[in-house]
Amino acid sequence: MSNTAAAHYTSTGLDTRKIAFWTFIGSECLLFGTLISTYLVYEGRSVVGPTTQEILNLPLTTISTFVLLMSSLAMVLALAAVTSGDRKYSIVWLATTALLGLVFLGFQVVEFTEFVHEGLTISTNLFGSTFFTLTGCHGLHVAVGVIWLTTLTILAFRDKLGPEKAMNVEICGLYWHFVDVVWIVIFTVVYLLQRGGIR
């Protein structure tokens, strides 16, 4: 095999970056799994309030969840646009994804601020500690994703995101969808399945 061919040879036929990224996602599953398990183990064991029933705002969070789900749709469209070399819609959909992600974060900021005003901080009780750590960690991941998407948008704007760069967008998409799936689990466990009360 010539040395030029050798440079592109892979054992599986898959892109090495994609394989590495899936490994990263596997690792992140353990990370969020540990945070979610801790949340579940400690649910309902706070000694003082506020409790989940008293403070969680289901309607508001349903809207933000919907926003995040829509952002995943935008991401799919973005990848399609980049793959087919459509500069205009690459910019549009990448920017939309980032924007929707930012909106989701905005909702979280509002929610957190509201909670603090109502007397729930990260140190108030077990619920505060587990809730803010879990959703805060997720929010951090969303923020990193927004930065990533913004960078890709700018690259697309500067004509540096042609179809040959589609793998970069696909991997960003993997990340973004993963973060979305984690949110679905968090939303279900924390907001929908509330069993919280005071011990």
Partner 1 sequence: MGTAATAHSMIQHAGSPTGIWSWITTTDHKRIGILYGVSAFVFFLVGGLEALIMRAQLMKADNTLVSAEAFNQLFTMHGTTMIFLAVMPLSAAFFNFVVPLQIGARDVAFPRLNAFSYWVFLLGALFLNSSFIFGAAPNGGWFGYANLTSAQYSPGMNIDFWALGLQILGIASLAAGFNFIATIINMRAPGMKMMRMPIFTWMTLVTQILVVTAFPVITVALVFLTFDRLFGTNFYNVAAGGDVLLWQHLFWLFGHPEVYIIILPTMGIVSEVLPTFSRKPLFGYAVVVYSGCLIGIIGWGVWSHHMFAVGLGPIADTYFSGMTMLIAIPTGVKIFNWIATMWGGQVRYTTSMLFAIGFVAMFIIGGISGVMHSAATSDLQQTDTYFVVAHFHYVLFGGAVMGLFAGIYYWWPKIFGRLLSEPLGKVHFWMMAIGSMVTFFPMHWIGMLGMPRRVYTYSAELGLESSNFAATIGSFIIGLSMLLFVFNIIRSVRRGPIAGRNPWGAATLEWATSSPPPVYNFSILPEVHSLHPLWTEGGVNAIPDEPPGPVHVPGGSYWPLVTAIGVIIFFLAPLLHMLWPALVGGALTVFAAFNWAFEPFEM
Which residues lie near partner 1 (CB under 8 A)? Answer: 1-3, 6-7, 9-12, 14, 16-17, 19-20, 23-24, 26-28, 30-31, 34-35, 38, 41-42, 45-48, 122-123, 125-126, 128-130, 133, 147, 151, 199
Cis peptide before 59 (omega within 30 of 0): no
CA 56 – CA 73 distance, rounded (Å): 27
Min separation Cβ 52 and partner 1, Å: 14
* Alpha-carbon span 186 to 176, nearest angstrom: 15
Pick 21 or 187: Cβ nearer partner 1: 21
CA atoms within 13 A on the CB side of 37: 6
To partner 1, the closest distance from the beta carbon of 95 in angstroms equals 19
- Residues present in the chain in total: 199
Please tell me the distance from the alpha carbon of residue 83 to that of residue 74, in angstroms, as a whole number.
14
Task: Specify the residue, 59 or 123, whose C-beta has the smaller distance to partner 1.
Answer: 123
Least distance to partner 1, CB of residue 20, Å: 4
Closest CB to partner 1 among residues 7, 159? 7
Q: At what angle do helices 16-42 and 166-186 cross, to 10 degrees?
A: 10
Q: Pick the closer one to partner 1 by CB: 64 or 124.
A: 124
**Cβ at position 141, least distance to partner 1 in Å:** 13
